[in-house]
Structure 1
Amino acid sequence: MCGARPAITLGDVAFLRSRAARVTGFALVALYLLWGPFAIAHSRATAQETLLALLVGVTTWGCAIWLLRSRAVSGYNVPPLLVTVVGAAAMQAMEPYTGLGFAFFAAIAAPHRVRLRAAVPLTALLLAALPLVSYLTGFDMAAAWGMTAGMAYTVVFSFLIWHVSTTKRQAVEVAEARAGEAVLQERARLAREVHDILAHAQSAQIVHLEGARVLLRTGADPALALDRVERAVHLARVGLEETRRALDTLRGRDLPLPERLERLAAEFRATTGASCVLSVDSGAAGLSAEAKLAVARTAQEALTNVRKHAPGAPAEVSLRLLGRWCELEIRDGGAPAARLPGPGLSDTGSPPGNGPALSNGSAQQGNGIGHTADWLHPSGSDDTCSSGDADIGGVRDGVGEGAAEPGGRMAAGSGAGYGLIGMRERAELIGGSLTAGADDGGFAVVLRVPA
């Protein structure tokens, strides 16, 4: 049994969309409209009446041709349309039925050639003129009312076509705008991913490799330089792994959110030796892709901040559903003795050394390797690649923002650091929010995203 044949639309007929079709249609309409003026001229008894009829008919015909050739809504089309309406009524007064062609043409063209505020009164004038002229000239009123009813149906039909075409055009414009906005959002998302991963990892590698170069140039212990090289290699590997994860996310093949959080917790335990308690509600796996990415990146950034500013402190990560919201909370227990590095310790607890420390790329004498924020990489931990371009502490290229709490952290309302800004931007882009600040001797980061 044969399937149903698809309906053939005007768009499927190539001829109807060709220039030849437009020229043919134009010629047929022009010839049809010429019948009225010549019919009036032929029925006139005197030469003066014939010339007057031709003047009215040809003028009306010329204005109709102007409207036919115009392909846009413009204020310049109002006078020709008005002349066409008046000319149709005048021809109807001279000879019955001769102005009907122009009247129907004006009714169809009005909404497509002038703005609505001009089309409505002009078509109303047309509908009122036909029966009035018929009554004044003694024309059969039954026939006149029939023509007026037909004209009214034509006007309604024409305005419906105008409404449909306008709605379709606006829908296309809205779709194009949304498509463009989606492209921009995707580009911004890719830019954030590249910046959060590659720029962070590479900047950290540059700092360590530059440190190794300075150490070797100044004749320091080669073991210290080797340590910096090994840190750079580790960062390169972690950055590569993060790049692969980002690509899997973009391809829709990323790890489920609970597994990803468990991996971050396991990395935290392995790196710091401290505990990291993870609790995840079962319904949290149904978040959108953007919400999952924001949760994962925020957890990664916050745990990196704990490693840097509270080494040895235990952490708690909880993801729970609260009605229409999903809340992620990362909290550390605080490590007051380790918050402020003592003599011979770097901000990450690096062992003391006697070699030169580095600040802004220049060699300085110090008690330990990497004692300053500039020696550490510009953002996050120097051992692990975090997702943001800076830690919550607001240190980037040795420059902080806001008032720091003990341990280098930023107060919640102090104009947070670049990493906190990045996390907050991620949350706000999907309609969420992020708060961070000291809490019970530790530090807490709370992210809320739509569930």
Structure 2
Amino acid sequence: MRVHSASAPPSEDLVRWQRAARALGLVSTVVLLVGLLGDLADPVVLCLTLVPVALWLLELFAPPRSPRVEGALLLVVGAGGGLLNARAFDSSGFLLAFFAAAALGIRLPPREALPWLVGVLVVLDLGSAAVSPHVLTSITSNSLGVGFTFAVGAATRTARLERARSEQLLAELEVARVHEAEGAALAERARLARELHDVLAHALSGQVMSLEAARVLAESTQADPRVVEGVTRASRLARSGLAEARGAIAALRGDALPGPDRLPELVEQAASAYGLRASLAVRGEPRAVTAQASLAIYRTAQESLTNSAKHGGVGVCATLLLEWRPDTVVLTATDVRRPGTAPVHTEHDGGHGLTGLRERAELAGGSLEAGPTNDGFVVRLELPT
């Protein structure tokens, strides 16, 4: 048996309760049939037994969706018990009326169940009055027994509904807590964005203006061209850093994050700012990935190009290869240095860039590998799509 409720998937607890109710219903049916064995030779008793029992089994395993149809079904089951009580007074046929009363209490709201319950009780009492030598006692015991059984079923139904409502309220409370935590996180990110803007972005803006003034001064005083070139490159780096700071602030505020679509722009900026010979190759058909994976691809390419310029030496050649595979996307960043330049950088040179990239990859469900090659360094990022 089931309790009428909204069309939602049943919980594990409800499924266990339904199994227990069906098991109890089957045991009760066996007890009923055993009590009727001596009277089944009577064709009328056999017919009055088979029809209500078949409907009772239908109620246990495939109850009607319509409350009215189900009420009528249970009325027939209970009336069958009343008629059996009149035909075979000393048998267990009256139990069908109690089965119907319990099911009416469990399955239907009290106001909908009472008319059907009264019908069951009337048939049972009329049958008892027709054959019982103690009419008043039989009617009283029948009424009290059926009423008590219905009350237990109704109390069970109320308890089940209250428990379901409590579970729903707890689930809604958990959702509210999650939203509250997300709101607090967004507020904290907005605060951090304001702090970064006030400190980092302003400082970089001042640095850009100072470098630009130094470049103009160097040109006006006809300083060494190498000085002018160095100041110009430093100015480009400062401008790039300012742009990245603004991008980080936008990310904290929840704005659009950079991803694979901005890799060509990143390569151009790196070549201009660092003097790299940088290139990008894309294989496969690009497709949408999660925001976390998209940002991991961009930050890995950015860190790799920065490391190539920082550690690869003069004239280093950096290559980015982005491969869109059926289930993964792979970014391979390789740099090749000229013979005789500074040693190739390693992951253990005191920085935390590659460690942070590896953490990003793991959070996005992927992996990152990095290490030196014969003539440079390689970083390989693999993420699920």
Q: TM-score, normalised by structure 2?
A: 0.49
Q: TM-score, normalised by structure 1?
A: 0.43
Structure with the higher fraction of residues in helix conformation: 2
